[in-house]
Structure formats: structure tokens, C-alpha cells
Amino acid sequence: MNVFKEIDVLIIGAGPSGTIASAYLKNNGFNVLIVEKKKFPRFVIGESLLPRTIDHLEEVGFLEAVKNAGFQEKLGATFFDKGKKCEFLFAEQFTKGYEYAFQVPRDEFDKVLSDAAEKKGIEILFEYTVENVDFQDGFQNTTISNNNEKLIVKSKFIIDASGYGRVLPKQLDLNVPSSLKARSAIFTQLKNNFKGITQKQNNIFIDTLDDDTKAWMWIIPFSDNRTSVGFVGDDKWIQSFQENPKNKFSEALGKNAIFNDIFQEIEFEFEPTIIRGYSVGVKQVFGDGYVMVGNSTEFLDPVFSSGVMLATETGLLAAKLAVKELKDTVVDWQTEYADIVAGGVDVFRSYVDAWYDGTLHTIFFTNEIRKDMKEQICSVLAGYVFDQKNPFVKKHRRALKNLAKVIKMK
Ligand code: FAD
């Protein structure tokens, strides 16, 4: 097969990690091609963003386009547990970062980013699937296909931003089970028919549903008359929705006080969808001529909305290092990429573990928490997980355990 195109960097996938990476490379004069298997707009889950992602959007020149799209501004997150409430507002945080993010239908958000990438002159081949990467000495020949043809793309470097597709982890046999217990989710979008303004729309709501499993539910209002709603819990419970998803979903919503406080009735935008065992890990995140970013690396859990933030963080960092390497500067991918990414993921891992073992419920639902500590925790929830000046980042696991212990002693 002849080579169809020769480029500097091939990016697999046009989700947030891929488009952010493409923009940085293009801004620095490199020739990039994104290959995306779907036609956009396409549905993907992951609708609550974090302020840290606003830094990334701004750095590559995407922020104006996102602001102009009219998405729902997000100013914080409110957690509930049997009538108790704990609100984190991004304006009240330790790290001096952005004080807002957005709540976005991802089909539209990802389309805004891919349009902004194309506007910069980046080529995106939609409805082409990456099938196989043939790694050669100093270059890669990648086979891509659509319904009619197979083509070869020759590149100097590959960024795997394929998300749930996990192209290189599958091809190179790098997938490993997650360190977290397997959990599943069921979600849909509802038509907004709020009971007047009982809750703020510029906030997401997380309600704890079960004392033992810490199963939970999300409510993410959009600006366009839709709200995303989902349940997360052990696989057996989520599988029990399978037989009649709409009925079971309505039944579960009917029992929920927070939901009933906000909505008059339930009108589905689409049949509730299940994702089983969503957590996944990976043996290594880079190798000769490639790097993995976003969800093709490790995905933990949706409870703190960290997925898109880690996608844009890793997409941008990987692109910066690829630029260095393409300019013939030696990059130590272990220390400059893998260790840094693992550091950020580990902070979230501590918070996810602390959610499911109840440590965070002790912290969130007490009246005793000091304002400065709450602000430090808020910065983690805003995605500022690389700020080593924050004690709840630097000593994340120990800081949470110690604080919960002190609260319990009072
Ligand atoms: P994606 O957004 O998945 O994009 C990858 C792209 O690659 C896709 O468009 C896909 O079509 C394409 N692709 C795949 N395979 C191929 C191939 N072979 N060839 C070409 N293209 C390919 N995150 C949040 O930030 N906030 C949330 O509220 C949130 N909620 C979540 C709820 C649940 C239940 C789950 C499971 C996850 C949630 N996430 C959330 C995580 C979020 O979905 C992901 O972290 C995020 O979408 C990752 O972005 P990405 O760019 O890495 O991949």
C-alpha cells in the first residue's frame, strides 16, 4: 500500500485530549493529522468540567470559542448525604486558579474544540478508524480505514488520544486492571422542568445513596433545557437496571429527595445507558515514537469530574514534550511525563478512595472543618492537583486521613 500522507504527528481521536494536543503542535509549526473514527457531533459521557481545564483551553487558544458557545457556567459542586449538604465554590480555593468551569453536553463541547482545531488549519479525518500502527526505526506507518478504503499514514510521532478506544494499550497489550474496585454507571439526559429555582443551576449535585457502598448520583444541569443524571455503584446494582432501564431509572429518581426537590417530572432525552467496570489502568504511558494521553492512559472514577481535566492536562504536556523531541532535544519521558501524570492521578486516587471508604463523608459533612483546609481541598476538586504548596496535594492521602481522624475525635 502506498503512503497516503506524511506528517510530523498523528493523533488518534478528536476528543479533548487529542484536539488540545493538536492545537499546541500546530501553534508551534508542526504538521498534525487527527484521525477520528466517529462523525462529529457524537455522544460521549463526561459533562462536568474543572477550572484547571480552562487554563489548558486558554493556553492553546480555544477558550474564546468555548465561551462563545454559551455552555452553562459551573461555579462549584454540592455534595449531599441524607439531608446534610457541603458546597465547594471554586471562588473559595487555595490555589490561585480559575474560579469557574462549564457543564457541557460533550457532543457539542467536543465539536466546538474540533471546529476550533480545524479553524487553525489542523486536518481531521472523521469516520476513519486507526487499525494498526507499524513501528519502524524513527517513524510509524499507521493503517487507517473507512468503509471504502485502507490508507497508510507515515508519521514521526504518535499521540494516542483514543479514550475508551484504547488503541495502543490494546495493540501493545498494555491494559491492566485498575487498582480500584470495579464499579459501573447508568446515565441519561432529562428535559428540564424545574420546580421554579429551588437549586442553583451553575453547580453540579452529587448525592450519596448508600451508606455501605457509597453509591451516588449526579445531576449536571446544562444551559439548553437538558440535565444529565446518572447513578454510580457496584456492578450488580447497576446491572439490575438492565431489564427495564427507563422504569428502573424513574423508580430510583422517584426515591431521591434532591431530585424531587428540583424536578417536577421525568422526561427522558434518551434511553438510560450503562457503562460497566469503567476503571482501567495501563502498564506504561509512553514508548519509542508514541505517548498515550487522556483516557487511553488510566481512568479512575467520575465522582470528582477529573476525566476531561486529566485529558487536557496530559494532552498538552505530551504535545509540549513531542515538540521538544521533534526539535531534537532529548526528552526523559519517564520523569518529564509518566511520573508527573502519575502524581496527578494519585492525588485523585486518594480522594476517590476516601470517597468510597467514607473518609471524605466524615470531612465533607462536619461543621468542624477549618476554612483554610476546605479551600485547600476545594483546589483539588478544581483540578489543581500539581500545586505542591497545597498540603492536601503534597501529602494527599495522609492529610485526608489525619483530618478525618481529628474530626472524629471531637
Ligand atoms: P474521548 O473523549 O473518549 O475521545 C476519544 C476519541 O477517540 C473518541 O472521539 C473516539 O471516537 C476516538 N477513537 C477511539 N478509537 C479510535 C480509533 N481506533 N481510531 C480513531 N479514533 C478513535 N469526566 C469529566 O471530566 N467529567 C465528568 O462529569 C465525567 N463523568 C463521567 C461519567 C462516567 C460514568 C464515566 C465512565 C466517565 C466520566 N468522565 C467524566 C470521564 C470522561 O468520559 C473521559 O475522561 C474523557 O472523555 C476523556 O477524554 P479523551 O479525550 O481522553 O477521550
Percent of the chain at pLDDT > 90 equals 93
Return d(Cα 222, Cα 339) in angstroms, integer. 35
For residue 225, pLDDT over 90 is answered with: no
For atom 2 of ligand 1, the residue with the nearest CA is: 15
* Residue 199: pLDDT band with limits 50, 70, 90: low
For residue 374, pLDDT over 60 is answered with: yes
238-271 per-position pLDDT tens digit: 999 999 999 999 999 999 999 998 888 999 999 9
Determine the residue of 44, 153, 166 to mutate for testing ligand 1's pocket, defined as the one with the most ligand atoms within 8 A of the Cβ atom. 44
Tell which atom from ligand 1 comes closest to the C-alpha of 278: 36
Burial of 177 (0-12, 13-18, 19+ CB in 10 A): exposed
pLDDT recorded at residue 197: 59
* Residue 195: pLDDT band with limits 50, 70, 90: confident
In whole angstroms, how far apart are CA 232 and each of 169, 206, 334?
Answer: 26, 10, 34
For residue 314 and ligand 1, the question of a CB distance below 6 A is answered with no
State the distance from the centre of ligand 1 to the C-alpha of 44, rounded, in angstroms.
Answer: 6
* Residue 201: pLDDT band with limits 50, 70, 90: confident
For atom 3 of ligand 1, the residue with the nearest CA is: 163
Cα torsion 255, 261, 267, 273: sign: negative
46 sits in the region (left: phi over 0; alpha: psi -120 to 50; else beta) called left
pLDDT recorded at residue 3: 83
Percent of the chain at pLDDT > 70 equals 99
State the distance from the centre of ligand 1 to the C-alpha of 249, rounded, in angstroms.
Answer: 23
Q: In terms of DSSP H, where are the helices of 166-267?
A: 167-171, 235-239, 245-254, 257-262
* Residue 120: pLDDT band with limits 50, 70, 90: very high
Average pLDDT along the chain: 96
Return d(Cα 346, Cα 330) in angstroms, integer. 27
23-80 per-position pLDDT tens digit: 999 999 999 999 999 999 999 999 999 999 999 999 999 999 999 999 999 999 999 9
